[in-house]
Structure 1
């Protein structure tokens, strides 16, 4: 039994490992879970460095933390842009598929309109025939 795959299924199957990885990273970084986790880690980092009596691995103004954020941003931005580019491509493919569906639907509607018009003309022709017969019968009976 052959299964018909949607454009979305075909597109998903065609993604490379890197594309799937970039999409999952972008999805993860764009979530509340990530924002909350990162906020907790930053507060923990700052708290431990402010109150740590013995060892400060990143004393105020937290230059190492700033470097970590810069590195994260340097990698996150292109990964998110790759994912957005793929989303744009998916949107373009979906728009093209929708356009093709609309064209096919238009053709079907036009064909149905022609059939309905033909049936309407045939009905009108029959009615006219019946009226003509009734006129002839009425004329003959006089």
Structure 2
């Protein structure tokens, strides 16, 4: 019981609202920042349009035989797409894992703020 009282007194004496996302951003590694940026770009409309244009150009060049480096059925294009998917999937998963940890921090902060508000009201 004394531990609970100590935690309650500590909670009442300090400010519990804070920007946990800003605090988290300060401690990111280079790999985490790169993963977030790649995931953000890979899930954007500019990426979809650019990638579609590159694929269409690749196929047109080979269909019209302007350069016959990857004739139909586009085996090299298939390899490029598979490699891109193999690289992009883990990067997106890393970014999702980080988002999950951010959500946990936000939930914990919300709980602390709500608990303090409830204690002040009652």
| TM-score normalized with structure 2 length | 0.84
Larger radius of gyration: 1
How far the C-alpha of 1:6 sits from its partner, in A, is 1.8
How far the C-alpha of 1:44 sits from its partner, in A, is 0.4
Corresponding pairs, count: 106
Query: How well do the aligned residues superpose, as a CA RMSD in angstroms?
Result: 1.3
Mapped pair 1:6 → 2:19: yes
Distance 2:48 2:20 in 1: 33
Which of the numbers 33, 37, 46 marks the counterpart of 1:33? Answer: 46
Following TM superposition, the consecutive aligned residue runs of length 4 or more in structure 1 with deviations greater than 6 angstroms are none
Indicate the structure with greater helix content.
Answer: 1
* Ranges in structure 1 where 5+ consecutive residues have no aligned partner: 111-142
Q: Superposition pairs for residues 78-89 of structure 1, below 5 Å?
A: 78-89=90-101
| TM-score normalized with structure 1 length | 0.72
> Contact conserved, 2:62 with 2:70, CA < 8 A, in 1?
yes
Which of the numbers 52, 55, 58 marks the counterpart of 1:45? Answer: 58
> Contact conserved, 2:35 with 2:91, CA < 8 A, in 1?
yes
What's the CA shift string for 1:35-87, capped at 9, x where partnerless? Answer: 0000000000000000025x300000000000000000000000000000000
Which of the numbers 73, 77, 84 marks the counterpart of 1:72? Answer: 84
* Ranges in structure 2 where 5+ consecutive residues have no aligned partner: 1-16
- Structure number with higher relative contact order (C-alpha < 8 Å, ≥ 6 residues apart): 2
